[in-house]
A and B are shown apart, each in its own frame.
Chain A
Amino acid sequence: MPVQKFEPMTKDFPTFDCDAHVTEPTVIWERAKEHLTRDELEALKQTDWYDPDSQQYLINGRTGGTLLGMRGAPRFLPFVSLSGPGIKHNIQRALNARNTRPETAVTKEQSDYLDHAGSYEPKPRLRDMDVQGIDQVMIIPTDIDTYPWLHNALGARAMCKAYNEWAYEYTLEDPDRLYFAALIPMQDPKFAIQEVYRVAEKGCRVALIRPTDAMGNYPLQPKYEPLWSVLEETGVVYGMHPFPAIGSHMPPGYTQQYSSAELIQRTISTSGLPHTFLGNMQAFMAEASVWVTLTLMSGFFDRHPRIKAAVFESDCTWLSFLLDECDKAYRLHRSRRQFPALKRLPSEAFHEHCFCGFEGDESFPSHLPDFYRDICAWSSDVYHHDGDDAWRAIETMRKCELPVSDQAKMLGANARRLYNIKPPRKVIRDRVTEIERPDWWPTEDEIKQALKPDAGMIFRQPAAQSAK
């Protein structure tokens, strides 16, 4: 049996993973009636429902695929529940390369092996966290591109309640290590406020809001002002989580741009050529940077001086110049500004109110500790495909010679400060250095071959050439 080996590493501080994912399991819908009123349950069935008989998801009354349905099939890597312990990027490349050819494609058994149960069950997650060097975690749902498109506000509220109840129960397995971020029904500010109060009573630390204009609901509209006041009152953090603009559930005929992440997708869809990996680039930071800029420039934090905000999964390299650009824009337009003057520069407001997530392969926080030291919070993005463990982040930081005290802040203490969470009673100190793997595990030689440029090609002539 192959054994996957890792370099020995140790740490003596507790990490906090501020953005790791669950994949919403069907039990959310199976048990929804336990948490919902009859009206809410009926609305949920019309809005966002899993039908166990047909094994299909119904969104806004229509049959529609979601990210959650993508698991356990031959020739498919379950990319939203994939990056468990040791499933490094090179391993994934090798498996993805196998899938370009039917004769080598992964089988259902192999796909099931890679579908990590920790993404929907807490016990296996805790075991995975031990291997991944993750002491504490904030769990975040996966189907983020669906929820803003739910038409029925009552159904959206029901979905949020059903999810939040399930997520809350998930964390009860070990409240010292597991925390949940709540879905908020932004379709109606009244419902959003009620849900914030409800989850705050359960100890929830963060409310998730996607910064898109889906259905015209960009989360800076004046109608949401009472919601932000409730976040201040309850101390629940404004958690801003972007996503690629897949738009699977846009209503028919909806042509307005709803996300700044749409453009990178459009470069693929308008090229006339198949392509996949590009959709993962720029999308997150495009949504995040627009929200950060508009929030800072509009004086949001002057109007809500007690609010705390977290920007998830969008990297943070861009922040090092964007805040300066915001300051510059404010200085240039002082006389033209019609909103109230800002009480402090945008960069100062960000440093006082905001945190930004970063992932383990991102080196800029380690290169510029003076700038990032107190505003960065590490995230694994586990179990999504490009997730990785805490050891990977520590490797990057050590390579950049970041002092251990700064590592401890960025990898855990900052997030705990943001959420007002105590360190765990027990700290993971040593890296697990060996994991037994099945016989079909990629060999070093296979990985080397898979990293070659043509390993990902499907052979088709570009349109321009075939037209000649």
Chain B
Amino acid sequence: MAARSVTIFDADSHVVEPRAVWEKYLDPEYRIPGKLALWREESRYGNYLKVNGEVFRDVDNINIPSWGIWRPGMTWDSIGELDPGKRHPINEAAYEPQARLRDMDAMGVDQAFLYPTWFAEGFPLVKDPDVAYALARAYNDWIADFCKPAPQRLYAAAVLPLQNMEFAIDELHRVAKLPCFRGVFIRPAFVEDRYLNHPYYDPLWEELQTLGLAAAVHPTPGLWNPELTSHGQFIEKVKARGSQSMFFGAGGGATAGGGSTIFQVSGISLGHSIAPVLSYWLDNYLFVASTLLGFSVMQRYPKMKVVMAHGKATWMEEVLEKMEASTKTIPLMHVYPVRTDVEEMWKEGHAMLGFDAEERGIQRLPRRYADKILWGSRFPHQDTTSGWDALKALSDARVPEDLIARMMGANAAAQFGVKLTRAAA
């Protein structure tokens, strides 16, 4: 194994929730309603996520579990060569802490901040607040146990039952006393037809600012969600438009495009989802534009720490430029004071963006981004990069070592309020 001088904090790593969350950690009285409200089923002939009793089936090939397939040594090309007709298991490090620590060692990762997978995709949409509260406690208790074997290496985002802000604040105060929780998971999505810029969420921002815990914003593909929850579903819908074949009548009238006014047969589909290419960064962009900047949460809660994971960082430049123009040239009508010196506001704020070491904008302008980004592996998603890969990409791009140290570890440790610690060899 090569030597490295940089201590690496993986600010975007995942667990995949095992059945034990429901069958062991969930209060017995909530096990039946809990499984109805949120449940992940993976079987030989099909996978689905159940949310509020509604079944959302996997759209991708079920034999290659993209959310948990990666293991140290795998490359994007080697995953692209896997036999889709044969079942490939998910990496047990996704749910077993000792295996996780071994993989972290192999990846050159000293410390990690853990996000959920199915709780990220489905939990925010659970409708019943009481059941959501029970599920949140179960997940938080399970992930706290997951982190216990290595309390200096494993940290987690807590899940809050935002379905009822009273419950959410209570659970926030409970988890704030547990050392592994250094942030709370927030999905940038529409829930109950409102977004995070809604005043409903103001008490959450207030409490996070007071407690010093990070708002850990992490989007998901949205493949198992209804339309208009986040960007993912629409992307898949219009992707499917490309698969439709007209049996006859190639023209059609004004409403013939995706409708059924003439006979259609379904054609061959692309074969995989497209939403993951776009939805992560579009969702994060939406959160920054609408909530942090547009509705001025960043100004109103200036000490709140925010981390936006898994969604690139380069686009921030564009948000600031667009914001600068928009606040000046659009007729003014808003209830909060909004700064027009957006560049300064961003510098002063405590928000950080997850980045990929391959982002050419980061490689070219490292000094511009160095204080505002933190690295994440996406482990064990299929597009994971190891710490070694990231270091090499940044070194090859001649990013100065002091900046690499901040991007790859120091920024995350500071944002999550933990001591940056090198793992024992």
Contacts and interface: CB of A to CB of B under 8 A. Distances in A.
Given A281-B289, A318-B318, A216 B360 contact: no
Contacts of B278: 289-290, 293, 322, 325
A318 B83 contact: no
B251 interface: yes
A395 to B, nearest CB: 14
Contact of B333 (A259, A276, A362, A463): A276
A329 B271 contact: no
A463 B277 CA distance: 36
A260 B234 contact: yes
Given A318-B318, A336-B61, A93 B327 contact: yes
Interface in A273-298: 273-282, 285-286, 289-290, 293-294, 297-298
A464 B315 CA distance: 32
A9 interface: no
A108 B197 CA distance: 35
A190 B249 CA distance: 11
Contacts of A325: 277-278
B84 interface: yes
Contacts of A462: 199, 202, 335-336
A150 B255 CA distance: 10
A156 interface: yes
B163 interface: no
Given A213-B237, A318-B318, A363-B317, A266 B326 contact: no
Contacts of B198: 270-272
A89 B197 contact: no
Interface in B212-261: 227-228, 230-231, 233-235, 237-239, 241-242, 244-246, 250-259
Given A153-B253, A213-B241, A338-B268, A321 B80 contact: no
A79 B268 contact: no
Contacts of A336: 60-61, 64, 84, 271-272
Contacts, number: 347
A364 B317 contact: yes
Contacts of A334: 77, 80-81
A270 B361 contact: no
B318 A213 contact: no
Contacts of A280: 322, 325-326, 329-330
A281 B326 contact: yes
B285 interface: yes
Interface string B330-341: 111111111111
Contact of A264 (B258, B289, B331, B341): B289
B72 interface: no
Given A100-B332, A286-B231, A456-B327, A463 B199 contact: yes
A462 B337 CA distance: 12
Interface string A144-160: 00000011110010000
A382 to B, nearest CB: 12
Contacts of B317: 317, 363-364
Contacts of A455: 332
Contact of A361 (B64, B267, B299, B324): B324
Nearest to B253: A153
B193 to A, nearest CB: 6
18 contacts: A92-B329, A151-B254, A215-B254, A215-B257, A271-B295, A290-B235, A294-B239, A297-B274, A317-B315, A317-B317, A321-B359, A321-B360, A329-B277, A335-B84, A339-B271, A385-B329, A386-B329, A451-B340
Given A213-B257, A264-B290, 9 more contacts: A262-B234, A271-B295, A281-B294, A317-B318, A331-B80, A367-B364, A368-B360, A456-B332, A465-B199
Interface of B: 60-61, 64, 66, 76-77, 79-84, 190, 193-195, 197-200, 202-203, 227-228, 230-231, 233-235, 237-239, 241-242, 244-246, 250-259, 267-272, 274, 276-278, 281-282, 285-286, 289-291, 294-295, 299, 312, 314-315, 317-319, 321-341, 356, 358-361, 364-365, 382-383
Interface of A: 77, 79, 82-83, 89-90, 92-93, 96-97, 99-100, 150-153, 156, 187-190, 213, 215-218, 220-223, 226, 256-257, 259-260, 262-264, 266-268, 270-282, 285-286, 289-290, 293-294, 297-298, 315, 317-318, 320-322, 324-326, 328-329, 331-339, 361-364, 367-368, 371, 385-386, 451-465
